[in-house]
């Protein structure tokens, strides 16, 4: 591991503390200090391998785009304590990953797998499923309005709508959606006592990893059966494209196809749920902005981008240095581990004036919520489309919204956002 500037222990502790992500402001303050005083610096935290923390927008972008020097495969791409890393390696015969999906791959394997579904996720193909998405959006708004003026928007609308969309596109039957929601929340929200598998408040790294391994095993069992079914009975769904995909002239193996399904199924809803709830949170606390967007729908794309920036649903990813390099005046050695802090990049005041303010008219809005480079979010057009359609329907049918209680963010260092958003609303 290279020597270099070090992060003060209290700040280092904050950026790995799920509670800080739930509390939010202490986290934003810690990132602001790091961007100012130590934009690339080493976190030495008991129980973790040392890792570089990258907090400025420009550095995160540069690293994300250099997929030769900064790799995904050699170590876990989500921050984990040493005990968890060891336990996974033990369980997986030396591999650092519980799941093998696009985010765990590098070239030359990664582009081959990504190419299988790339076209499917492009706007031209998404046009063909837009009407389908609108039907789901309308039903979500009907359900909300039927709740009679109050709801928990995060739980009742935002978490269910993208789930329903992605499961329908993937080809998972509606009756299995509660299972998919539960497994995803366990995978992403493992640190939050409201979301993890055992509702435990305190867990050792080994316990948490055991539980996560069980969740992954459940996903694998479900999706391996689904792949076999689609090979035997092909349909017009994404599951069939993946199950019948060929890599180097051979069918995609079961373990890899299960990983592919898992990344689409999981990355495809909790993230969009978070930014959808974030958009509503912002509108509920700013009636003027709500009225403006309701009256002028050309502001909708701006509202959506700002919600995705302001919420930053994917809060970090890790990379491993492939060869000795230098970035931002800091030398790194092959094998070094680093954390791309997307929240910090999205609140970088040198790129976003008054970053804590939600401004639907912010322009330009060069947020990095979808990452960049070879791994840039495959579902970004789908996420934007889903949000646009839902808010078109919502703004048509709502006259006003306001907070009816205190919203709460999930306590997770990886994927996070509002988990409770009490709302009072009047129908139009
Ligand atoms: C990758 C964010 C929605 C599927 C990623 C990455 C981020 C991200 C940060 C990693 C980028 C990088 O390493 O540079 C988000 C956010 C979303 C969202 C903020 C919603 C607002 C979706 C949706 C889907 C999806 C709707 C699919 C249904 C994927 C996949 C990858 C990915 C498959 C892996 C791509 C690769 O490694 O090549 N996403 N995502 N995401 N996302 Fe999304």
Residue 45 region, left (φ>0) first, then alpha (ψ -120 to 50), else beta?
Answer: beta
Question: Mind listing the pLDDT tens digit of every residue in the chain (428 residues)?
Answer: 667 899 999 999 999 999 999 999 999 999 999 999 999 999 999 999 999 999 999 999 999 999 999 999 999 999 999 998 998 898 888 999 988 999 999 999 999 999 999 999 999 999 999 999 999 999 999 999 999 999 999 999 999 999 999 999 998 999 999 999 888 878 776 566 666 555 555 677 778 788 888 998 999 999 999 999 999 999 988 999 999 999 999 999 988 998 999 999 888 889 999 999 999 999 999 999 999 999 999 999 999 999 999 999 999 999 999 999 999 999 999 999 999 999 999 999 999 999 999 999 999 999 999 999 999 999 999 999 999 999 999 999 999 999 999 999 999 999 999 999 999 999 99
ipTM at complex level: 0.99
Nearest residue to 149 via CA among 423, 391, 428: 423
Does residue 121 fall inside a structural domain? Answer: yes
Flag whether 4 is in a domain.
no
Task: Write the CATH number for 227.
Answer: 1.10.630.10
**Cβ 268 under 6 angstroms from ligand 1:** yes
Q: Which atom of ligand 1 is nearest to the CA of 162?
A: 26
In a domain, 3, yes or no: no
> Any idea what DSSP says for residue 253?
P
Distance 269 CA to ligand 1 centre (A): 10
- State yes or no: cis peptide before 75, omega within 30 of 0: no
Closest atom of ligand 1 to CA, residue 103: 37
Q: How far apart are CA 338 and CA 414, in angstroms?
A: 14
**Which residues lie closer than 8 Å to 119 by C-beta, 6 or more apart?**
125
Please tell me the distance between residue 378's alpha carbon and the centre of ligand 1 in angstroms.
Answer: 5
Residue 238: strand, helix, or coil: helix
Q: What length does the chain have?
A: 428
Question: Is-contact 286 294, C-beta < 8 A?
Answer: no
Parallel, antiparallel, or unpaired: how do β-strands 330-332 and 325-327 relate?
antiparallel
Ligand 1 atom closest to 114 (CA): 38
Q: What is the pTM of this model?
A: 0.96
Q: Which atom of ligand 1 is nearest to the CA of 72?
A: 13
Confidence at residue 294, expressed as pLDDT on a 0 to 100 scale: 97
Residue 73: CB within 6 Å of ligand 1?
no
Distance in angstroms (rounded) separating the CA atoms of residues 413 and 418: 13
- Which one, of 307, 266, 314, 313, lies nearest residue 394 by Cα? 307
Query: Which of 370, 385, 416, 418 best tests ligand 1's pocket when mutated (most atoms within 8 Å of CB)?
Result: 370
Report whether residue 126 contacts ligand 1, using a CB cutoff of 6 Å.
no
**Number of structural domains, the chain?**
1
The CA distance from 8 to 33, in Å, is 10
Looking at the domain assignment, is residue 227 inside a domain?
yes
Report how far ligand 1's centroid is from the alpha carbon of 380 (Å).
Answer: 7
Please tell me if the CB atom of residue 118 comes closer than 6 angstroms to any atom of ligand 1: no
Q: Is residue 158 part of a domain?
A: yes
174, 177, 179, 183 alpha-carbon torsion, rounded to 10°: 150
385 lines ligand 1 (CB under 6 A): no
Does any domain span residue 1? no
| Ligand 1 binding pocket mutation candidate from 169, 379, 385 (most atoms within 8 A of CB) | 379
73 is in which domain, residue-wise?
9-427
């Amino acid at each position: 591991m290279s020597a270099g500037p070090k992060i003060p222990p209290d700040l280092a502790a904050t950026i790995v503390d799920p509670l800080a992500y739930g509390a939010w402001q202490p986290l934003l303050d810690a990132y602001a200090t790091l961007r100012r005083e130590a934009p690339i610096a080493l976190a030495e935290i008991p129980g973790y391998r040392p890792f570089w923390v990258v907090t400025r927008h420009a550095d995160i972008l540069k690293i994300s785009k250099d997929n030769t020097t900064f790799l995904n495969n050699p170590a876990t791409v989500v921050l984990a304590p040493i005990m968890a890393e060891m336990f996974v390696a033990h369980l997986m015969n030396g591999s650092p990953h519980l799941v093998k999906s696009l985010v765990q791959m590098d070239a030359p394997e990664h582009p081959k797998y990504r190419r299988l579904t790339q076209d499917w996720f492009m706007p031209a193909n998404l046009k063909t499923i837009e009407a389908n998405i609108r039907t789901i959006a309308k039903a979500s708004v009907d359900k909300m309005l039927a709740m009679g003026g109050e709801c928990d928007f995060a739980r009742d609308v935002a978490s269910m709508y993208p789930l329903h969309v992605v499961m329908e596109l993937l080809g998972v039957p509606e009756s299995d959606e509660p299972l998919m929601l539960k497994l995803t929340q366990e995978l992403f929200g493992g640190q939050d006592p409201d979301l993890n598998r055992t509702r435990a408040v305190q867990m050792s790294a080994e316990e948490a990893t055991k539980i996560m391994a069980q969740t992954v095993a459940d996903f694998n069992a479900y999706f391996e059966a689904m792949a076999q079914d689609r090979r035997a009975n092909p349909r017009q769904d994404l599951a069939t494209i993946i199950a019948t995909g060929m890599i180097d002239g051979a069918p995609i193996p079961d373990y890899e196809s299960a990983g592919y399904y898992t990344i689409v199924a999981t990355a495809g809803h909790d993230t969009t749920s978070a930014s959808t709830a974030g958009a509503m949170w912002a509108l509920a606390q700013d009636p003027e902005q709500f009225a403006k967007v309701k009256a002028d729908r050309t502001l909708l794309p701006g509202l959506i981008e700002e919600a995705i920036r302001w919420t930053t649903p994917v809060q970090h990813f890790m990379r491993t240095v492939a060869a000795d390099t230098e970035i931002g005046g800091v030398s790194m050695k092959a094998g070094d581990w680093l954390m791309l802090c997307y929240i910090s990049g999205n609140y970088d005041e040198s790129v976003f004036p008054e970053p804590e303010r939600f401004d639907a008219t912010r322009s330009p809005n060069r947020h990095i919520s979808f990452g960049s480079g070879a791994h840039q979010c495959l579902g970004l057009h789908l996420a934007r489309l889903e949000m646009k359609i839902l808010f078109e329907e919502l703004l048509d049918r709502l006259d006003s919204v306001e907070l009816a209680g205190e919203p709460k963010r999930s306590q997770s260092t990886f994927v996070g956002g509002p988990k409770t958003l009490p709302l009072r609303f009047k129908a139009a």
